[in-house]
């Protein structure tokens, strides 16, 4: 994969970068299809978050928070994230969470990307929202 994919974060979701994110999603979906895996949007975006840190994981909790169809990794969904980031920029930018080195567990000089911060917000808020919903019988 091209190094430019690692430089994309929510604050840099330009038309060009959204196009690149859509390409990555298609490439990962295609690769998973060849290996016999089921390429769900949740799985693909979790891979994108874990490898590149450039999108939140579109799981049930995140999608509930942001009112995104769980099967909708598209330009509209990414633009919703841009809007959310712009509305909450000061709060999101204040979070400086350092990553840990895999082998030593020591802090590194690298910080969580904004997409990961938004992922964590979406996850926690989604849990709260789903707990409030009436259970189906």
For residue 36, the model assigns a pLDDT of 62
* Mean pLDDT, range 100-107, rounded to an integer: 94
Q: pTM for this structure?
A: 0.89
Residue 14 in 3-state DSSP? coil
Q: Is residue 1 very low, low, confident or very high in pLDDT (cuts 50, 70, 90)?
A: low
The answer, yes or no, to whether residue 7 has pLDDT greater than 80, is yes
Those residues with Cβ within 8 angstroms of residue 96's Cβ, 6 or more apart along the chain or in another chain: 111
- Please write the tens of the pLDDT for every residue from 41-70: 999 999 999 999 999 999 999 999 999 988
* Cα dihedral 132→79→2→28 (10° resolution): 50
* Mean pLDDT, range 116-128, rounded to an integer: 96
Under a CB-based contact definition with an 8 Å cutoff, are residues 21 and 8 in contact?
Answer: yes
Domains in the chain: boundaries: 3-130
């Amino acid at each position: 994969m091209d190094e430019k994919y690692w430089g994309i974060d929510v604050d840099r979701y330009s038309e060009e970068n959204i196009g690149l994110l859509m390409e990555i999603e298609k490439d990962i979906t295609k690769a998973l299809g060849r290996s016999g895996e089921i390429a769900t949007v949740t799985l693909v975006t979790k891979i994108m978050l874990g490898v590149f840190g450039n999108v939140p994981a579109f799981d049930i909790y995140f999608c509930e928070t942001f009112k995104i169809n769980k099967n909708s990794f598209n330009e509209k969904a990414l633009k919703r994230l841009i809007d959310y980031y712009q509305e909450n920029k000061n709060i999101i930018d204040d979070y400086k969470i350092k990553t840990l080195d895999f082998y030593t567990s020591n802090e590194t000089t690298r910080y969580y990307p904004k997409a990961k911060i938004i992922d964590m917000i979406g996850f926690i808020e989604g849990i709260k929202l789903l707990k409030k919903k009436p259970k189906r019988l």
